[in-house]
Chain A
Amino acid sequence: MPSSLISPSELDYIIRGVDDNLRADGRGRLDYREVILETGLISQANGSARCRLSKGTDVLVGVKVEIGSIEIDGTDEEVAAIEAKRGRIVCNVECSPIASQQFAGRGADDINNELTQLVDRVLNGPQGGLNLEKLCIIPGEECWIVYIDALVLDYGGNILDIIFTTIRAALHNTRVPKTVIEEDKEVEISDDVEEWERIEGWELVPISVTLNKIGTRHIVDATVLEELATKAKLSVMVNKNSKICGIQKIGGGSIEHSLLNEMLQTGRSLGQNLIHNLDKMLQKEEEINAKRKIGFFASA
């Protein structure tokens, strides 16, 4: 994490603030910063979104879909039969050195790998939401591969939550071209943008709520300084059906057994609110995008 130094007095200030439910920027323990969301800003991508927290984290996600061959691994026939009928998702998270000096050179390798694996695990499993079977073109041979690339442009704490929010927004914005299979198994891609379809199941894509344990309490949406005061982080992934889609402790430090259940409860209920707000924002974005028609050959 960026600049790993914090003075004892800063630390004390943060811990006491958290204890009194009043943080340095005036928020309570479970308040989020204001989120600014834009979608459809990259015309080369099939879907894109950018999410910013006021005075902080800035994440840009581009989604590209490409045709690729279905890979079946393994010796298990039963599993192979399911895999043959599925498209797949490839995720990548990159922390740009623009965001923090810390990420220059090879400094971001570890965090990139950690975030990439985490996002990949959540989106590629059964809890990922997207209907992978709809991404299959010719069973056992060809499918759509959804490449999700997240770029962290500014670092102000709480990147994981913002990455998930942005990915969900970008998938909402993604359109997959229609395909026609010809007789000799050649795949024809339709040029008509109006026919392109959204990936089924985007609304079930989970988002993450990261709870930071500071002192004996926990807070959400921590700033950089608050993250330095954090003993242990717990990320809870939740979807629209209020199911838990993943739990992961991040960073050193341990969590008391009794506190864990409480944190999971908080994570789940906060996640519901977040998804609700995000859906509202996305609906608004869609209306704006319909008017301005960015890209899609409609600049007149």
Chain B
Amino acid sequence: MATDRRRIQGPEASVAPIILKSPNKIQLLDENLCRHNGRNLEDIRSISNGSAFIELNKTKIVCGVYGPRQTKIPAFSGKGNLNCEIKFAPFSCPKRRPPYRDSQEKELSQLIYEALTPSIRLDLLPKSTIDIYITILENDGTASCLAAAITCASVAVADAGIEMLDLVPACSASYINGHIFMDSDLIEEKRESGSLVLSYMPSLKEITHILQSGEVELNLTSQAIEQCTDSCSKIYSIMIDSLLLPIQNIK
């Protein structure tokens, strides 16, 4: 008799599966009101592999990291891909921003990519892609937003458990009337004659990105770079604390 070869041929005899009893009943809440997965009652799960939220007074930025996952259309490369996308929420600026990506957002994405690549061990992840999505919920100064986005993305990448050389804190400064205003807001930014955004890996003492605009004397620039690296070191300790905090809670 001809058999249908598309049908899977099962064995002639079969046995019922043995059901393993779990050793103890799942306790939804323990005596400290801590849930079985270590979370508190009010905690929600983190949705993406890694995520972070940063708030600098009015500036609010969220970031999610996905991956590493297989690259969809792999081109030959011994290194992993890093894909950054930044988006201003339509309501984040004084003027409404349309929901599609404009050229400024594309440029900021590129800048964040350039600031983060030196810190991530992409050489360990061939044929893979890491996606970083950043949404700016409230914009209080574009330069400080860029700096905060870099800081936030770096924490999110670390939270996703991706190997890095160091965290990348970033800091911005404005030049107004010969003074250096650190981390200026929107009102100050409108009146600035120039600005500086710097991202820095404190343990390696390497600058991963620098972007300056405005007509500035070289020694003022050097001074601003010093001040920014100092602030970056301060931000660095906050970043480490934010990464350690959830782990300590579980313990």
Which residue numbers of A lie inside 8 Å of B, CB to CB?
73-76, 78-79, 110, 113-114, 116-117, 121-122, 125-127, 232, 234, 239, 243-258, 260-261, 264-265, 268
Contact = CB atoms under 8 A, between A and B. Distances in A.
Given A74-B95, A113-B106, A245-B215, A260 B118 contact: no
Given A247-B211, A250-B114, A261-B222, A126 B193 contact: yes
A125 B214 contact: yes
B55 interface: no
Contact of A246 (B206, B212, B218): B212
Contacts of B217: 243-244
A256 B215 contact: no
B194 A117 contact: no
A129 B222 CA distance: 22
B61 to A, nearest CB: 20
B213 A254 contact: no
B205 A257 contact: yes
Binding site secondary structure of chain A:
mixed
Contact of A264 (B114, B118, B221): B221
Interface residues of B, number: 39
A244 B207 contact: no
A261 B194 CA distance: 19
A248 B94 contact: no
Contact of A252 (B114, B200, B210): B114
Contacts of B113: 252
B218 A114 contact: no
Given A239-B215, A254-B204, A247 B194 contact: no
A260 B225 contact: yes
A107 B187 CA distance: 38
Given A74-B94, A126-B194, A252 B214 contact: no
Contact of A117 (B104, B212, B222): B104
Interface string B187-211: 1001101101000110011111111
A115 to B, nearest CB: 10
Contacts of B103: 113, 116-117
A264 B205 contact: no
B201 A244 contact: no
A125 to B, nearest CB: 5
Contacts of A76: 187, 190
B110 interface: yes
Given A126-B214, A127-B215, A251-B114, A256 B206 contact: yes
Nearest to A231: B118
Contact of A113 (B107, B117, B119): B107
B33 interface: no
A257 to B, nearest CB: 5
A265 B222 CA distance: 10
28 contacts: A76-B190, A78-B191, A79-B191, A113-B103, A113-B110, A114-B107, A117-B107, A121-B213, A122-B213, A125-B214, A126-B214, A127-B194, A127-B213, A127-B215, A234-B210, A243-B215, A244-B212, A244-B216, A244-B217, A244-B221, A247-B196, A247-B212, A249-B114, A254-B118, A257-B200, A257-B206, A258-B205, A264-B222
B229 interface: yes
A264 B218 CA distance: 8
A247 B216 CA distance: 10
B107 A252 contact: no
Contacts of A234: 210
A249 to B, nearest CB: 5
